[in-house]
Amino acid sequence: MKWLEHQRIRYTLSHHPIPHQAWENLMHNGYAAVFREMSAVERAHLRELTTLFLRQKTLSGAQGLEVSTEMVLAVAAQACVPILKLGLDYYNSWVEIVIYPGAFRVARDAADEAGVVSRQEQTLSGESWARGPVILSWDDMASELAGSRPGQNVVMHELAHKLDMLNGDANGMPPLHSDMVRQQWTDVFSSAFEYLQRQLEHHFHPDINSYAATSPAEFFAVVSEYFFTDPHRLHQRFAEVYEQLVLFYRQNPLLRFSSSGAPGSE
Protein backbone atom coordinates (compact mmCIF):
# COMPACT_ATOMS: atom_id res chain seq x y z
CA MET A 1 0.00 0.00 0.00
CA LYS A 2 1.27 3.46 -0.84
CA TRP A 3 2.56 5.58 2.04
CA LEU A 4 0.14 8.43 1.38
CA GLU A 5 -2.84 6.15 1.20
CA HIS A 6 -1.75 4.46 4.39
CA GLN A 7 -1.56 7.85 6.14
CA ARG A 8 -5.00 8.80 4.87
CA ILE A 9 -6.48 5.59 6.23
CA ARG A 10 -4.82 6.13 9.61
CA TYR A 11 -6.14 9.70 9.67
CA THR A 12 -9.70 8.60 8.90
CA LEU A 13 -9.61 5.88 11.54
CA SER A 14 -8.39 8.23 14.26
CA HIS A 15 -10.34 11.38 13.32
CA HIS A 16 -13.67 9.92 12.24
CA PRO A 17 -14.22 7.03 14.60
CA ILE A 18 -17.56 5.27 14.79
CA PRO A 19 -19.43 6.15 18.01
CA HIS A 20 -18.38 3.40 20.40
CA GLN A 21 -21.70 2.67 22.09
CA ALA A 22 -23.67 2.58 18.84
CA TRP A 23 -21.16 0.12 17.40
CA GLU A 24 -21.23 -2.12 20.45
CA ASN A 25 -25.03 -2.13 20.41
CA LEU A 26 -25.07 -3.23 16.80
CA MET A 27 -22.50 -5.98 17.37
CA HIS A 28 -23.96 -7.41 20.56
CA ASN A 29 -27.64 -6.60 20.58
CA GLY A 30 -28.43 -10.27 20.55
CA TYR A 31 -30.33 -10.62 17.32
CA ALA A 32 -27.95 -9.60 14.54
CA ALA A 33 -26.42 -13.06 14.21
CA VAL A 34 -24.23 -12.07 11.31
CA PHE A 35 -22.15 -9.84 13.61
CA ARG A 36 -22.49 -11.76 16.83
CA GLU A 37 -20.94 -14.89 15.35
CA MET A 38 -17.80 -13.09 14.21
CA SER A 39 -14.56 -13.39 16.13
CA ALA A 40 -13.22 -10.35 17.97
CA VAL A 41 -10.51 -10.00 15.31
CA GLU A 42 -13.07 -10.07 12.49
CA ARG A 43 -15.21 -7.50 14.28
CA ALA A 44 -12.21 -5.19 14.73
CA HIS A 45 -11.46 -5.51 11.04
CA LEU A 46 -15.12 -4.90 10.17
CA ARG A 47 -15.11 -1.76 12.30
CA GLU A 48 -12.11 -0.34 10.44
CA LEU A 49 -13.61 -1.17 7.10
CA THR A 50 -16.96 0.36 8.11
CA THR A 51 -15.21 3.57 9.23
CA LEU A 52 -13.51 3.91 5.85
CA PHE A 53 -16.70 2.95 4.03
CA LEU A 54 -18.57 5.79 5.74
CA ARG A 55 -15.97 8.32 4.56
CA GLN A 56 -16.32 7.16 0.96
CA LYS A 57 -20.07 6.67 0.62
CA THR A 58 -23.10 8.86 1.15
CA LEU A 59 -26.18 7.48 2.87
CA SER A 60 -29.40 9.44 2.66
CA GLY A 61 -33.07 8.96 3.39
CA ALA A 62 -35.82 9.24 0.78
CA GLN A 63 -39.48 10.23 1.25
CA GLY A 64 -38.65 12.19 4.39
CA LEU A 65 -36.95 9.29 6.17
CA GLU A 66 -34.61 10.59 8.87
CA VAL A 67 -31.50 8.45 8.87
CA SER A 68 -30.16 7.99 12.40
CA THR A 69 -26.62 7.06 13.42
CA GLU A 70 -27.86 3.57 14.26
CA MET A 71 -29.36 3.14 10.78
CA VAL A 72 -26.23 4.41 9.05
CA LEU A 73 -24.08 2.02 11.06
CA ALA A 74 -26.38 -0.93 10.50
CA VAL A 75 -26.34 -0.41 6.73
CA ALA A 76 -22.60 0.28 6.50
CA ALA A 77 -21.54 -2.62 8.70
CA GLN A 78 -23.76 -5.08 6.79
CA ALA A 79 -22.43 -3.70 3.51
CA CYS A 80 -18.87 -4.34 4.64
CA VAL A 81 -19.39 -8.01 5.57
CA PRO A 82 -19.17 -9.32 1.96
CA ILE A 83 -15.96 -7.37 1.31
CA LEU A 84 -14.32 -8.13 4.65
CA LYS A 85 -11.60 -10.10 2.84
CA LEU A 86 -11.89 -8.42 -0.56
CA GLY A 87 -11.35 -4.79 0.39
CA LEU A 88 -13.20 -1.54 -0.23
CA ASP A 89 -11.93 -1.26 -3.82
CA TYR A 90 -14.64 -3.75 -4.76
CA TYR A 91 -17.15 -0.94 -4.12
CA ASN A 92 -15.27 1.72 -6.09
CA SER A 93 -17.81 1.97 -8.91
CA TRP A 94 -20.54 3.65 -6.84
CA VAL A 95 -20.90 6.08 -3.91
CA GLU A 96 -24.51 6.47 -2.94
CA ILE A 97 -26.96 4.53 -0.79
CA VAL A 98 -30.55 5.75 -0.63
CA ILE A 99 -32.82 4.38 2.08
CA TYR A 100 -36.60 4.35 1.70
CA PRO A 101 -38.85 3.99 4.74
CA GLY A 102 -40.53 0.90 3.29
CA ALA A 103 -40.81 -1.15 0.12
CA PHE A 104 -40.92 1.21 -2.83
CA ARG A 105 -42.73 1.10 -6.12
CA VAL A 106 -40.89 1.55 -9.36
CA ALA A 107 -42.31 1.90 -12.84
CA ARG A 108 -40.23 1.18 -15.89
CA ASP A 109 -40.56 0.11 -19.48
CA ALA A 110 -40.23 -3.58 -20.22
CA ALA A 111 -40.41 -5.34 -23.57
CA ASP A 112 -42.37 -8.56 -23.95
CA GLU A 113 -41.48 -11.46 -26.26
CA ALA A 114 -43.14 -9.76 -29.22
CA GLY A 115 -41.06 -6.64 -28.61
CA VAL A 116 -43.95 -4.59 -27.29
CA VAL A 117 -42.77 -2.17 -24.65
CA SER A 118 -45.09 -1.42 -21.77
CA ARG A 119 -44.90 0.39 -18.49
CA GLN A 120 -44.66 -2.04 -15.56
CA GLU A 121 -44.82 -1.43 -11.85
CA GLN A 122 -43.10 -3.48 -9.20
CA THR A 123 -42.73 -3.28 -5.45
CA LEU A 124 -39.13 -3.69 -4.38
CA SER A 125 -37.21 -3.87 -1.13
CA GLY A 126 -33.92 -3.04 -2.79
CA GLU A 127 -32.39 -2.16 -6.11
CA SER A 128 -28.91 -1.77 -7.61
CA TRP A 129 -27.91 -0.08 -10.82
CA ALA A 130 -24.59 -0.64 -12.56
CA ARG A 131 -23.22 2.82 -11.80
CA GLY A 132 -26.05 4.35 -9.82
CA PRO A 133 -27.00 4.19 -6.17
CA VAL A 134 -27.91 1.22 -4.04
CA ILE A 135 -31.54 1.62 -2.97
CA LEU A 136 -32.80 -0.07 0.18
CA SER A 137 -35.95 -0.30 2.25
CA TRP A 138 -35.50 0.31 5.97
CA ASP A 139 -38.59 -1.76 6.87
CA ASP A 140 -37.02 -4.86 5.37
CA MET A 141 -33.65 -4.19 6.97
CA ALA A 142 -35.24 -3.68 10.37
CA SER A 143 -37.07 -7.02 10.29
CA GLU A 144 -33.91 -8.78 9.14
CA LEU A 145 -31.89 -7.24 11.95
CA ALA A 146 -34.61 -8.35 14.34
CA GLY A 147 -33.96 -11.91 13.20
CA SER A 148 -37.37 -12.56 11.73
CA ARG A 149 -36.12 -13.48 8.26
CA PRO A 150 -33.32 -16.04 8.51
CA GLY A 151 -31.35 -16.32 5.31
CA GLN A 152 -32.49 -12.93 4.04
CA ASN A 153 -30.50 -9.73 3.93
CA VAL A 154 -31.49 -6.96 1.54
CA VAL A 155 -28.19 -5.08 1.99
CA MET A 156 -26.05 -8.06 1.06
CA HIS A 157 -28.42 -8.96 -1.75
CA GLU A 158 -28.05 -5.57 -3.43
CA LEU A 159 -24.30 -5.49 -2.88
CA ALA A 160 -23.95 -8.95 -4.39
CA HIS A 161 -25.50 -7.41 -7.53
CA LYS A 162 -22.87 -4.64 -7.38
CA LEU A 163 -20.08 -7.22 -7.18
CA ASP A 164 -21.69 -9.20 -10.01
CA MET A 165 -21.77 -6.04 -12.16
CA LEU A 166 -18.03 -5.35 -11.74
CA ASN A 167 -17.38 -7.37 -14.89
CA GLY A 168 -20.33 -6.27 -17.02
CA ASP A 169 -24.04 -7.01 -16.79
CA ALA A 170 -25.44 -8.78 -13.76
CA ASN A 171 -25.30 -12.41 -14.88
CA GLY A 172 -24.55 -14.32 -11.69
CA MET A 173 -20.79 -14.37 -12.13
CA PRO A 174 -18.67 -11.70 -10.43
CA PRO A 175 -15.00 -11.31 -11.42
CA LEU A 176 -13.43 -14.55 -10.20
CA HIS A 177 -10.00 -14.68 -8.56
CA SER A 178 -7.07 -16.16 -10.44
CA ASP A 179 -7.12 -19.30 -8.26
CA MET A 180 -10.73 -20.02 -9.26
CA VAL A 181 -11.94 -22.05 -12.22
CA ARG A 182 -14.50 -20.31 -14.40
CA GLN A 183 -15.93 -23.56 -15.78
CA GLN A 184 -16.40 -24.93 -12.29
CA TRP A 185 -18.33 -21.84 -11.22
CA THR A 186 -20.55 -22.03 -14.31
CA ASP A 187 -21.25 -25.76 -13.91
CA VAL A 188 -22.01 -25.57 -10.20
CA PHE A 189 -24.22 -22.49 -10.45
CA SER A 190 -26.09 -23.65 -13.57
CA SER A 191 -26.97 -27.03 -12.14
CA ALA A 192 -28.10 -25.54 -8.80
CA PHE A 193 -30.17 -22.93 -10.61
CA GLU A 194 -31.81 -25.58 -12.83
CA TYR A 195 -32.43 -27.83 -9.84
CA LEU A 196 -34.25 -24.99 -8.06
CA GLN A 197 -36.33 -24.30 -11.16
CA ARG A 198 -37.31 -27.98 -11.40
CA GLN A 199 -38.34 -27.96 -7.74
CA LEU A 200 -40.64 -25.02 -8.42
CA GLU A 201 -42.05 -26.54 -11.60
CA HIS A 202 -43.01 -29.65 -9.64
CA HIS A 203 -44.45 -27.54 -6.83
CA PHE A 204 -41.95 -28.82 -4.29
CA HIS A 205 -41.18 -26.55 -1.39
CA PRO A 206 -38.01 -24.82 -2.61
CA ASP A 207 -34.81 -25.33 -0.59
CA ILE A 208 -34.10 -21.61 -0.60
CA ASN A 209 -36.06 -18.43 -1.30
CA SER A 210 -37.81 -19.05 -4.63
CA TYR A 211 -36.85 -15.56 -5.80
CA ALA A 212 -33.46 -17.11 -6.59
CA ALA A 213 -35.09 -18.90 -9.54
CA THR A 214 -35.87 -15.59 -11.29
CA SER A 215 -32.51 -15.35 -13.06
CA PRO A 216 -28.84 -16.35 -12.59
CA ALA A 217 -28.17 -12.83 -11.25
CA GLU A 218 -30.88 -13.18 -8.60
CA PHE A 219 -29.65 -16.67 -7.78
CA PHE A 220 -26.18 -15.34 -7.01
CA ALA A 221 -27.61 -12.49 -4.90
CA VAL A 222 -29.94 -14.79 -2.93
CA VAL A 223 -27.32 -17.48 -2.23
CA SER A 224 -24.96 -14.72 -1.09
CA GLU A 225 -27.57 -13.70 1.50
CA TYR A 226 -27.75 -17.27 2.83
CA PHE A 227 -23.97 -17.61 2.71
CA PHE A 228 -23.52 -14.86 5.28
CA THR A 229 -26.70 -15.12 7.35
CA ASP A 230 -27.71 -18.82 7.25
CA PRO A 231 -24.65 -20.70 5.93
CA HIS A 232 -25.82 -24.08 7.28
CA ARG A 233 -28.92 -24.04 5.13
CA LEU A 234 -27.01 -23.14 2.00
CA HIS A 235 -24.32 -25.71 2.69
CA GLN A 236 -26.91 -28.46 3.28
CA ARG A 237 -28.83 -27.70 0.08
CA PHE A 238 -26.12 -26.52 -2.29
CA ALA A 239 -22.73 -27.52 -0.89
CA GLU A 240 -20.85 -26.90 -4.13
CA VAL A 241 -22.34 -23.42 -4.50
CA TYR A 242 -21.29 -22.77 -0.93
CA GLU A 243 -17.71 -23.86 -1.72
CA GLN A 244 -17.53 -21.53 -4.73
CA LEU A 245 -18.70 -18.64 -2.56
CA VAL A 246 -15.99 -19.48 0.00
CA LEU A 247 -13.46 -19.07 -2.81
CA PHE A 248 -14.99 -15.85 -4.08
CA TYR A 249 -15.68 -14.05 -0.78
CA ARG A 250 -12.58 -15.59 0.86
CA GLN A 251 -14.62 -16.26 3.98
CA ASN A 252 -16.10 -19.41 5.49
CA PRO A 253 -19.10 -18.33 7.58
CA LEU A 254 -19.90 -21.97 8.42
CA LEU A 255 -16.84 -22.11 10.69
CA ARG A 256 -17.95 -18.86 12.25
CA PHE A 257 -21.42 -20.14 13.06
CA SER A 258 -20.39 -23.63 14.24
CA SER A 259 -17.75 -22.34 16.64
CA SER A 260 -20.41 -20.63 18.71
CA GLY A 261 -22.13 -23.98 19.29
CA ALA A 262 -25.46 -22.61 18.10
CA PRO A 263 -25.60 -23.45 14.40
CA GLY A 264 -28.61 -22.21 12.54
CA SER A 265 -30.41 -21.11 15.66
CA GLU A 266 -31.23 -17.66 14.32
State the number of binding residues for Zn ion (CB under 5 A). Answer: 2
Nearer to Zn ion among residue 18 and residue 160 (C-beta): 160
Nearer to Zn ion among residue 46 and residue 82 (C-beta): 82
CB within 8 A of 158, min separation 6: which ones? 126, 127, 128, 134, 135, 136, 221
Amino acid sitting at position 172:
G
Backbone angles phi, psi at 178, to 5 degrees: -65, -20
Q: How many CB atoms within 10 Å of residue 187?
A: 13
> Closest distance between Zn ion and the C-beta of residue 240, in Å?
22
* By CB under 5 A, residue 223 contacts Zn ion: no
Nearer to Zn ion among residue 140 and residue 218 (C-beta): 218
Exactly one of 26, 34, 71, 221 binds Zn ion (CB under 5 A); that residue is: 221
Nearer to Zn ion among residue 206 and residue 264 (C-beta): 206
Name the residue number minimizing CB distance to Zn ion. 221
> Closest distance between Zn ion and the C-beta of residue 180, in Å?
23
> Closest distance between Zn ion and the C-beta of residue 157, in Å?
6
Nearer to Zn ion among residue 29 and residue 210 (C-beta): 210
Name the segment binding Zn ion (CB under 5 A); options: 193-201, 202-210, 215-223, 252-260.
215-223
> Closest distance between Zn ion and the C-beta of residue 252, in Å?
24
Name the segment binding Zn ion (CB under 5 A); options: 21-29, 75-83, 196-204, 217-225.
217-225
| Contact (Cβ atoms closer than 8 angstroms) between residue 134 and residue 159 | yes
> Closest distance between Zn ion and the C-beta of residue 219, in Å?
10
CA atoms in the 13 A half-sphere facing the CB of 66: 1
| Binding residues for Zn ion (CB under 5 A) | 218, 221
